[in-house]
Structure 1
Amino acid sequence: MARRKQTDELTIERVIQWAAILSPGQRRELIDGLLALDELSEERSDRTPNPNDGNGGGTGRGSIERKTINGCGPYLYLRYWSGGKHRSVYLGKAESD
């Protein structure tokens, strides 16, 4: 039986392999960002509005902000705290309402 050809598919294993080459500080920032996303997912399933419904969402580690830039967008950004700094990560364009 032929082996499956490795693809560029994103898997948990590939993310962990990638994280293994990060510095300890970079891994801590990654963990903080993932915890913020996880917390937002749990809140959204309970009571937090969808980030496509307005600005923000979440009250703990982070929030998702909708942003319009030069009349384009809206774009979603994860905002969270890591290492005493407020971080921002682009998540992609928001789905159409």
Structure 2
Amino acid sequence: VKARDGETDIYGIMLLPSSFDPDKKYPIINRIYPGPQVGSIRTRSFSAGRNGEAQALAELGFVVVLIDGLGSPFRSKDFHTAWYGNMEDNG
């Protein structure tokens, strides 16, 4: 997914119930925490228990989406400081 500038990649994870059926409709929870200093994704690797509460929500029948908004760490300096002094606009 691209940011509103049409160029910058936005990272995210989508968690599905383990019994996910592509023919069914599911409510979506958009779990976003853009910072400061920590994003929703945190790292680009998978590890046991890292998204435990989000996966628990998925197991209750939700599709859970975690998105790193502009200003999240572990990216370029421009990306990280995109909303410095303007936190209500995190892209």
* TM-score between both structures, scaled by the size of structure 1: 0.25
Higher RCO (Cα < 8 Å, 6 or more apart): 2
More strand by share: 1
> More helix per residue: 1 or 2?
1
Larger radius of gyration: 1
TM score, norm. by length of structure 2:
0.26
